[in-house]
Amino acid sequence: ALKYLNSEYPGAFLANEGVSYVSVGGDAIVGKEKKAATEASVVDNDGGKVGSEQVNQVYNDRGEGSASSVAYTSYAAVSGIGELTGDGVFLLNGLC
């Protein structure tokens, strides 16, 4: 996504005003496919690896599963593979 952005819209929009940009990536959340509806009654805490029980509870209450299942959907939309790592929105290996 960033490679496309840079090729289609090179430079920084506000560069003439002294503004520069930095992209930051994280490797905190592993994408994991959402559990089946029959398993969804128990909040998926992602094995304690990421997020907190409270965050995963919010995702579960909204019908989204967990932080990992939301990340899975985001990563799959960008790369076609959901079981990767990233910041929960964008996969780390897709930054370049």
The string of DSSP codes covering 3-37 is HHHHHHS-S-TTGGGT----------EE--PPPPG
Is it the case that residue 49 has pLDDT exceeding 70?
no
What pTM value is reported for the model?
Answer: 0.65
| 7: pLDDT strictly greater than 90 | no
Q: Greatest CA separation found in the chain? A: 55
Report the share of the chain in percent with pLDDT over 70.
78
Residue with the bigger pLDDT between 5 and 73: it is: 73
